[in-house]
Amino acid sequence: MQQGYSSNWHSKLKALGPGILLATAAIGGSHIVASTQAGALFGWQLAVLIVLVNVLKYPFFRFGVEYSLQSGETLLEGYQKQGRGYLFSFVWLNLIAAVVNTAGVLLLTASLLQFFMPVQLSLTVLCLILLAVCLLILLAGQYKLLDSVSKWVMVLLTITTVAAAVIAFNKGPTAAPDFVGPSPWQLIYLGFLVALMGWMPAPIEISAINSLWLKAKQQHTPVNKQDGLFDFNLGYWSTTVLALVFLALGALVQYGSDQKVELAGAAYTHQFVAMYASTIGDWSKLLVALVAFLCMFGTTLTVLDGYARTINESFQLLGWQNTERKNSYNLWLLAQAASGMAVILFFKSALGPMLTFAMSLAFVTTPVFAWLNYRLMRGQQKHLMQPWIRLLSWLGLIYLFGFALLFIWWYLTK
């Protein structure tokens, strides 16, 4: 939806919000865990892959913003126009991701909160405290408060992360000059690579969530195409830079050390903080823990809000829910929070495999919804797709479909 006013720096700053929320949602499991583990296990070898997957996924996340600004509709409405089956498939993917991801990010955030607690509390109790705080923020202010909180989280996160990286660079790498680590370019590591790429920079359903955040933003502040894309690009490419910073932290602090790298998320965050403190000094423990906590707290907020929005909107579009019901978002938010907490209470020991499954599922389904986002944009008669975007889209689709088929073959034959 185009507005009749010119773009300037003031209008760009006012438009900031949905793209920052995208970045806040992305910089969670994919960065603090997957990117840092990639550096810890393989050094700098996966830096090219991280950049490549961010570049090749870029058009499909961008289309979510462009489609909404061009048509005045959300991506979910676009999926429904392409066929009810597409929206139905998206809903079930979204429901699985909402429950598993909520439980995962809550547990990771709670494990990091332990560093700042004066008394020792169980992870379950800390999860309940965090959930209560997040629900209070979202139920009290919904989008406007979430928008404000996410901007402060991103500013603090960026400052502390860069500070930690500068300290690590000044200290120098842990690995000996002659150390030769394993190569990630082997079939045995394909599962790790797919999990890394599935959530890099974020699961593909975040593109639909982003279009809903944009819709919510426009209820308070008109956003034209130029300003909307500025906000999106700032958020999206910030996630790429920070992914490389987290990779650097793992490569500098853990790569080449004698200690085995933990692959379970909660255990890994504690190991990483401890390794950082032993390498640089105990004084750095709280700094690194703060970086990780800010990262995960922002992700927890946006995961709760974003998935609740998409489920609520999807059920209304499918006719499974009364569109006149004003508190339906609140009900879905509470249901999602309760479901995530139930997974923590009853399936905590299986949460690691469940998260790996969610990350792998995200990658396997990415090509389908990437193609659908491309198809929606191509169908916009008023929109002339730029040649470089069209070329990058086709390269991305070939890459994503090819890697997904390779992973399915590997999984069935291993």
Q: Which residues of 168-194 are buried (b: 16+ CB within 10 A; e: fewer)?
A: beeeebbbeeeeeeeebeeeebbbbbb
Does the pLDDT at position 89 exceed 50? Answer: yes
Give the range among 12-21, 148-157, 248-257, 294-303 with minimum mean pLDDT: 148-157
H-state helical runs in 35-183: 36-42, 47-71, 75-82, 84-113, 123-171
* 42 CB-contact burial (10 Å; exposed 0-12 / middle 13-18 / buried 19+): buried
Residue 206 sits in a domain whose CATH number is 1.10.4160.10
Confidence of residue 398 (pLDDT cuts 50, 70, 90): very high
How far out from the chain centre does Cα 346 lie? 25
Rounded to a whole number of angstroms, the CA Rg of the chain reads 21
Average pLDDT of the chain to the nearest whole number: 85
Helix axes 84-113 and 75-82, enclosed angle (nearest 10) = 150
In total, how many domains does the chain have?
Answer: 1
* Structure token digits, residue 131: 């959930």
Distance in angstroms (rounded) separating the CA atoms of residues 398 and 410: 18
Q: Give me the mean pLDDT over the 105-114 stretch.
A: 86
pLDDT of residue 53: 92
Residue 335 domain flag: yes
Does the pLDDT at position 1 exceed 50? Answer: no
Residue 136 domain flag: yes
* Structure token digits, residue 363: 């990658």
**For residue 201, is the peptide bond before it cis, meaning its omega torsion is within 30 degrees of 0?**
yes
Residue 392 domain flag: no
Residue 102 domain flag: yes
Confidence of residue 363 (pLDDT cuts 50, 70, 90): confident
Residue 32 domain flag: yes
* Structure token digits, residue 351: 């949460």
pLDDT of residue 383: 57
Confidence of residue 351 (pLDDT cuts 50, 70, 90): low
**Whether 362 contacts 203, CB under 8 Å:** yes
pLDDT in tens, 38-55: 998 999 999 999 999 999
Does the pLDDT at position 292 exceed 60? Answer: yes
pLDDT of residue 132: 94
Give the range among 154-163, 179-188, 325-334 with minimum mean pLDDT: 154-163
Does the pLDDT at position 93 exceed 90? Answer: no
Does the pLDDT at position 356 exceed 80? Answer: no
Does the pLDDT at position 5 exceed 60? Answer: no
Q: What is the secondary structure of 269-295 as a DSSP string? A: HHHHHHHHHHHH-GGGHHHHHHHHHHH
Residue 405 domain flag: no
pLDDT of residue 263: 67
| CA-wise closest residue to 131 among 382, 379, 333 | 333
The dihedral over CA atoms of 147, 98, 94, 155, expressed in degrees to the nearest 10, equals: 30
Residue 389 domain flag: no
Does the pLDDT at position 382 exceed 60? Answer: no
List Cα–Cα distances, 354 to 265, 292, 338, in angstroms: 11, 21, 17
The dihedral over CA atoms of 186, 191, 193, 195, expressed in degrees to the nearest 10, equals: 180
Task: Domain of residue 149: give its range.
Answer: 9-382
pLDDT in tens, 64-77: 899 888 888 899 99
Distance in angstroms (rounded) separating the CA atoms of residues 403 and 227: 34
Highest averaged pLDDT of the listed ranges 149-153, 292-296, 311-315, 382-386: 311-315
Residue 388 domain flag: no
Helix axes 387-413 and 351-378, enclosed angle (nearest 10) = 150
pLDDT of residue 2: 46
pLDDT of residue 26: 83
Distance in angstroms (rounded) separating the CA atoms of residues 68 and 49: 30
pLDDT in tens, 209-258: 899 989 888 888 888 888 989 999 999 999 999 999 989 988 988 888 87
* Structure token digits, residue 109: 């955030």
